[in-house]
Each structure stands twice: as C-alpha cells, then as structure tokens.
Amino acid sequence: MFGHDVARNYKKVRRQVGYMQDHFSMYRQMTVFEYLDFFGAAYGMAQKARTKTIDDILALTDMANRSDSLIRGLSRGMQQRVSLARALVHDPELLLLDEPASGLDPRARIELMEILQELCSLGKTIFISSHILSELAALCDAVTILDRGEVKYTGAMDGLMKQDDGDSGYIVELAEPHAAAAEFVAKLPGVHRVAPIDGKPGFRVSIDRSQTSPNHILSTIIHSGGIIASFSEDLKQLNQAFMDLTEPGVRS
C-alpha cells in the first residue's frame, strides 16, 4: 500500500497497525464502551462511526454484554479482550500482539485463540510474540524461532514440522492388530523405515515419495487385510522442533 518507503509514510503506516502489549495499562475507571470510544476519538473517528465500530468489535470479541462494565471490575481474561478490542478500533490491517494469552486461564486462552482465528479469516495479518508454542502451532502458518538473538528458523510452519531427513513420514493406525500390514509395507520400494506405535495397533512409516506414495501405502495395507482407522502425516510437535533448534541453558 505504501511502497517500500515506510519511513517516509510512517504516519499512514501507523494507522494500519494495531498493537497489543503484554503488560497493558488501562483507564480502569472507564466502562468498556467509554474506553474504546476514547481511542476511537483519538483516531479521529466521527461519533456515529465510532459507535457502530465499537458495537461490531464488542460482538466479535464476545464482549457486547460488558459494554457498560467498569474495566477495573473485569477479570484478566476480559481485560485482555478489551485490550485486543482497543487495538482493533481503527480497523488496522496489521496486528502486533505481544504475549496475547499471557496469564490467562485455559478457557480464556482457547476463546482468545478462536477470536484470533476469526480475525485471520477476516483478512487481518497478525504477528504474535509468544512462548505458548502449542497454540502457535494451531494458529500460525509461518514462524520464526529466535535463540539468544539468532534466527534459527524462519518460514512456513509446515516446513518446520517436517522430518529432518527429507523423507515423508506417516502414522497408520489400524482398527485391530494386523502384523502382515507392516510386513507388506516394509517391502515396498522407497520405504525406509517402519516402526510400531506404542500402545496402539499400527505403525509409523517413512518413505521416499519419488519411489512410492501415500496412496500406495494405503492400498497395500488394505490388500494385506488390514483395516485402517486413521492415516495422517507424521509431523513434529512445535515444542520438539523448538528444542531441536535451540540450545539448552542460558548463555553467559
């Protein structure tokens, strides 16, 4: 929108950015509506436009019934939603969120993630700084991992979760034990590894997709007499990928 000269157009850029800080300060003597109305006025929005926008944002954040509540009487989770609503009041294209789920109980955290997913579906670009990796894995499509000031990985989330050896890995769960399925799969060209799953009938399989395909794996299992309960890509957990890329301890 602004070309490459962000420095020259910094005022316009700022109007397209919404920022939600980790440790937020609020005018706690205000009601939720008054607080959002104050910031809408600061952005130069007319009263009629502010009222409609605030109503829409309160509906989006599921805070419509808290419009007249004093901020000082809200729980941390509710105050977190108000802080997010304040960042949205001028309809920014880009949201910068610093630890948005910090200090929230599990239910409030899940509900906040649902709101962020809705914002993504509305076309907002969202940058999140967070240490709660499990939530980022479900929410983000790209990730950057920093360790002691160094970028260890930046790129697509899918790329981070892939196996390091270049093979494609899959998890096969069977409806009942059937040893022949793994034996037949292990004999296929391009199959590098077949390993059992602890406590479940089934196995993990690692393949070279230039020699075989997931469809070939599935058809082989079915022809061997196996009943497939589920078949999914074998991806790392984000926590494990983070541990693999970063160093333990604190550097002195």
End-to-end CA distance of the chain: 43
Amino acid identity for residue 223 in this structure? H
Amino acid identity for residue 205 in this structure? V
What is the reported pLDDT for 103?
77
Of all residues in the chain, what percent carry a pLDDT higher than 70? 94
Residues 18 and 102 in one domain: yes
Residues 14 and 136 in one domain: yes
Domain count of the fold of the chain: 2
Statement: the pTM of the whole predicted model exceeds 0.75: no
Domain that holds residue 196: 168-233
CATH number for the domain harbouring residue 190: 3.30.70.100
195 or 139: which carries more pLDDT confidence? 195
Helix H, strand E, coil C: the string for 48-98 is HHHHHHHHHHHHHCCCHHHCCCEHHHCCHHHHHHHHHHHHHCCCCCEEEEE
Average pLDDT, the chain: 87
Q: Taking phi first (over 0 means left), then psi (-120 to 50 degrees means alpha), and beta for anything else, what does residue 101 get?
A: alpha
Residues 222 and 101 in one domain: no
Tens-place pLDDT, residues 77-127: 889 899 999 999 999 999 999 988 877 888 888 888 889 999 988 899 999
pLDDT at 174 over 70: yes
- Residue 248: inside a domain, yes or no? no
| Cα distance between residue 94 and residue 15, in whole Å | 10
What is the reported pLDDT for 47?
92
**DSSP bridge partners of 202:** 173
Q: Is 29:53 a contact under the CB 8 Å cutoff?
A: no
Of all residues in the chain, what percent carry a pLDDT higher than 90? 48
- Residue 247: inside a domain, yes or no? no
Q: Is 216:172 a contact under the CB 8 Å cutoff?
A: no
The two three-digit tokens of residue 196, written as one number: 């059992």
Residues 22 and 134 in one domain: yes
Residues 116 and 227 in one domain: no
